[in-house]
Structure 1
Amino acid sequence: MKFKVSAEIDYEVKAPSTLILNVHALRTAHQTVIDEKLSIAPYLKIEELAATNGENRFVRLDIPDTGPISIRYEAMVDNYYEVKDHSNLAEIPVSKFDPSVLTYLNPSRYCQSDKLYRLANNTFGKISTSFEQVFAVTDWIHKNVEYLSGFTNSETSAYDTVTQQAGVCRDFAHLGIALCRALTIPARYFTGYAYQLNPPDFHACFEAYLGGDWVLFDATRLIPLNGLVKIATGRDAADAAIASIFGDVYCTNIKAACEFVDEQPFKPIYYTRSIFDGVTYL
């Protein structure tokens, strides 16, 4: 499936500063970047940085002068999504996890799984399979946390979201990750461009490591699962922020868009029907 994605970000620079941007569509085995363009006005030299945590394509901009700066990114991306029968997913013990997966079992800045251990195990611990546990986690979040734009801020953690029972996509993702890790299920943060999101914006959800694969979940249920173009993954939003600012810089405008441009009709994929009704399927 082909998507055209774009981002517009404008800043006002008050002093020489550095920006680390994370807006490029990720290249993966299931996601091909056909073509892309990044433009910056006024012109600045960029440096692409190697990922150290998770998957990303960071670029660094050193900004020597003050004044406005405009960043524009657009790309054509071809995505492939595989739908699997969760009942056939093998349960892999921690002793068999690849070392690269182990970091996603640990608490992180926004995902304090150690503080949510009792909640996770009392609520989901008796569910028989890992997939059904993760599905139950996302179902519980969807039912118990209100999606409320502007309610939280950059300091809000998964523990805060349980208490406040409200948040945005970032908070839904952090809570899902924390509860999964508390159940000894590796989970990581996912940020991307989102098709059919209204209003258009960047979107956050999470991936759980099940049966040797990273499987996508979205407790907000705002968009189809196959309507996402991946930008980055990481332990939490600290690893996958759209922009990290070092200096006296203020964002004045930010927009993101995702358009479906494939010749074939779009067929949305959702996880449907709660396991509490006795049925789960993709």
Structure 2
Amino acid sequence: MHLSTVETVLEYEVKVPTHFCFNIEAAKWPTQRIVSERLAVSSGVAPHRFTDDGSGNRFFRFDALPGPLLVNYKADVEVHSQSVDEHLPEVPVGQLPDDIFHYLLPTRYCESDLLGPQAQRLFGHEPAGISRVRAIVKWVHENIKYQPGSTTSTTTAHEVFEQRVGVCRDFAHVGITLCRALNIPARIVVGYVWFDEPPQDFHAIFEAWLGGRWVLFDATGMAPVDRLVRIGTGRDAKDVAFSTFFGSVQMTRKEVNVLEHEPRATADSGAAVVELAAVGG
């Protein structure tokens, strides 16, 4: 178990009345505990908060008038690592739980139907189970170049597979797509984690359904998966965007900070402290 302090500062210039939806808060998840958190938004904004029951993703929405907008989230989160059995098997499609089945299907960014032949050629000979997923992770790490700015918000796994360059979300999408093409359910996970290079930002990894449980993998190799503070879980990046808006805005500042600590004793192990505040701006 370890403790991380995470913070996001987002500033926008709103051009016209705009509706925003944010997903930047630490998720309600069994392997992490929110010790304290604070969300601050510009004065005059009234956020509506809700949690997706299926994923634990937490969202807040609001309408904003033209002018500057500030969103600031800060939290202390305990993350508890889980051991992984290196002999986990793949689960036959007919035995998949109903709520897991849809993680097999192609999605906007993960065209597993298009990459089926390539997945079979590269990994069809691998022993079924966690070792096959690790082979996928190794291939993505060795064959896709990490290059900030090399892709856009509309780049898909098939495009990255062809051009062999991308960022963390692209690495995750390719891993997810190759798994699904081999009938292994997989999904994206985004969160906060500390790493040396590049500068701090939201980080995307993926998890695969093996032996009746989800197992995390990071094809970038940028940080240990068991140190990630989970924000969002979804079928692909469209489910876990940190910001979605309906209107016209310009982002003027984006800052993500992560600081890891040794675990500290807390007198209260109950509910997290949540403070919703308005600030000038």
Aligned to 1:40: 41
Aligned to 1:74: 74
Q: CA RMSD in A?
A: 1.4
When structure 1 is superposed on structure 2, of 206-215 and 104-113 the one drifting more is 206-215
1:49 aligns to what SS in structure 2? strand
When structure 1 is superposed on structure 2, of 75-84 and 50-59 the one drifting more is 50-59
1:136 aligns to what SS in structure 2? helix
Please tell me the residue identity of whatever aligns with 2:139.
Answer: W
User: Equivalences for 1:95-244 in 2 at 5 Å?
Assistant: 95-198=94-197, 199-244=199-244
Cα distance in 2 between the residues matched to 1:233 and 1:157: 18
Cα distance in 1 between the residues matched to 2:105 and 2:119: 15
Aligned to 1:59: 60
Is the Cα contact below 8 Å between 2:55 and 2:232 reproduced in 1?
Answer: yes
Aligned to 2:273: none
Q: Which ranges of structure 2 fall in alignment gaps of 5 or more residues? A: 265-281
Q: Where does structure 1 differ by over 3 angstroms across 4 or more consecutive aligned residues?
A: 52-55
Cα distance in 1 between the residues matched to 2:66 and 2:44: 13
1:256 has 2:253 as partner: no
Q: CA deviation at 1:263?
A: 4.0
Q: Which ranges of structure 1 fall in alignment gaps of 5 or more residues? A: 265-282
CA deviation vs aligned residue, 1:152-176 (integer Å, no higher than 9, x gap): 1011000000111000001101100
1:142 aligns to what SS in structure 2? helix
Cα distance in 2 between the residues matched to 1:205 and 1:60: 25
TM-score scaled by structure 2?
0.90
Cα distance in 2 between the residues matched to 1:53 and 1:164: 34
1:120 aligns to what SS in structure 2? helix
Aligned length: 262
2:238 aligns to what SS in structure 1? coil
Is the Cα contact below 8 Å between 2:192 and 2:202 reproduced in 1?
Answer: yes
Aligned to 2:271: none
Please tell me the residue identity of whatever aligns with 2:247.
Answer: G
Q: CA deviation at 1:227?
A: 2.2
Aligned to 2:270: none
CA deviation vs aligned residue, 1:66-106 (integer Å, no higher than 9, x gap): 1001110001111111122312x244222221111111000
Please tell me the residue identity of whatever aligns with 2:57.
Answer: N
Aligned to 1:267: none
1:17 has 2:18 as partner: yes
1:35/1:263 CA distance change after superposition, 3 Å: closer
Aligned to 1:269: none
CA deviation vs aligned residue, 1:158-217 (integer Å, no higher than 9, x gap): 000011100000110110000000010000011000112431111011011111111110
When structure 1 is superposed on structure 2, of 37-46 and 10-19 the one drifting more is 37-46
Cα distance in 2 between the residues matched to 1:263 and 1:55: 24
Please tell me the residue identity of whatever aligns with 2:39.
Answer: L
Please tell me the residue identity of whatever aligns with 1:173.
Answer: A
2:237 aligns to what SS in structure 1? coil
Cα distance in 2 between the residues matched to 1:91 and 1:101: 13
Aligned to 2:3: 2
2:26 aligns to what SS in structure 1? coil
When structure 1 is superposed on structure 2, of 77-86 and 212-221 the one drifting more is 77-86
Is the Cα contact below 8 Å between 1:111 and 1:177 reproduced in 2?
Answer: yes
Give the structure, 1 or 2, with the largest relative contact order (CA under 8 Å, sep 6 or more): 2
Aligned identity (percent) is 40
